[in-house]
Amino acid sequence: MRRSKVLFLAMIPTMCVLLLMPAAARSATVRLTCRFGDPAVETLPGGFSRLVFPATIQAGRPGEPCYPFRGIQALLPPGQSIARVSVRKSDWRVLGGAHKLYPMQEPLRGVDVDSGAKRFLMNAAAYRVDSWIEPPDAPFRTRYLRGHAIATGAVSPVGFRPASSEAGYYGTIDVAIETAASDEAAEALRLLRGDQETIERVSRLVDNPEGLAGYAAAAPSPAGDAGGFEYLIVTTSGFASSFQPLA
């Protein structure tokens, strides 16, 4: 009996270009390029600013400057997972004027919102640093959705010099995701679904839906999947008619 497993992924849409380059018989390299134009600058109370790029979210440590991050979701070849990721940033541009990045705040509990309680967090020491700071990229991990291997991570183009309130960004970020066959990915591939609903769902989630072509050959054919079932209903003949709508 074949079972289906679903992993729900919260992903951020991106505007990126991806290329899949074969590296070896059992490996590949997914290359991703993200490009950034001038950000929108939000002016906030207290002399703070927030740099906003399309398809990004603000993240950081509570009390320290928050940075915009762009999420990445890359479909990997069937049966493969992340082996190594390299990130290269280029086309550095310094923004004119002063930009004191807003400190990240902790989310409020519902009871705090109702009571109007709000504690402003700011780590003063973090804003006295007199050197350029670039936030670490979010770790890349392999997730699985109905047998499809998906690399997820996030990168930030922004750099910040707190003491002088200088800020800048990289216009281009290149990400190379090297893959290799793994037992985990092979096990996930056994649960591969190739139905239309799954294909459409994966297409919406990943930045490189063209990679689905590699899964087409691996997906089991519904007509030829002898002995395979989505569900197995075990009951007595007296209740068989009641379960017919489910069947």
What pLDDT digit, counting tens, does each position of 103-145 carry?
999 987 655 555 555 789 999 999 999 999 999 999 999 999 9
State how far the Cα of 55 lies from the Cα of 70, in Å rounded to an integer: 6
Predicted TM-score (pTM) of this structure: 0.76
* Residue that wins the pLDDT comparison between 48 and 118: 48
Mean pLDDT of the chain, nearest integer: 85
Q: What is the pLDDT of residue 226?
A: 46
For residue 223, name the pLDDT band (cuts at 50, 70, 90): very low
Based on the number of CB atoms within 10 Å of its own CB, is 11 exposed (0-12), middle (13-18) or buried (19 or more)? middle
Q: What is the pLDDT of residue 157?
A: 98
For residue 23, name the pLDDT band (cuts at 50, 70, 90): very low
Tallying the residues shown for the chain, one arrives at: 247
Q: What is the pLDDT of residue 244?
A: 85
3-state secondary structure of 209: helix
Please state, for a pLDDT cut of 70, what percent of the chain lies above it: 82
Q: Is the pLDDT of residue 176 over 70?
A: yes
Q: What is the pLDDT of residue 1?
A: 37
Rg (CA), the chain: 23
Contact yes or no for 136/111 (Cβ under 8 A): no
Q: What is the pLDDT of residue 228?
A: 53
3-state secondary structure of 107: coil
Minimal CA–CA distance to 64: which of 131, 156, 108, 129? 129
State how far the Cα of 104 lies from the Cα of 61, in Å rounded to an integer: 6
Minimal CA–CA distance to 56: which of 100, 15, 102, 101? 15
Q: Is the pLDDT of residue 238 over 90?
A: no
Q: What is the pLDDT of residue 6?
A: 33
Q: What is the pLDDT of residue 119?
A: 83
Quick one: DSSP state of residue 104? Answer: B
Amino acid at 81: S
Task: Give the angle 134-135-136 at the CA atoms, nearest 5°.
Answer: 115
Q: What is the pLDDT of residue 233?
A: 85
Alpha helices in the chain (DSSP H): 110-115, 183-189, 196-205, 213-216, 240-243
Task: Please state the rounded mean pLDDT for residues 199-220.
Answer: 90
Q: Out of 47-61, 68-82, 179-193, 211-225, which region has the weakest mean confidence (pLDDT)?
A: 211-225
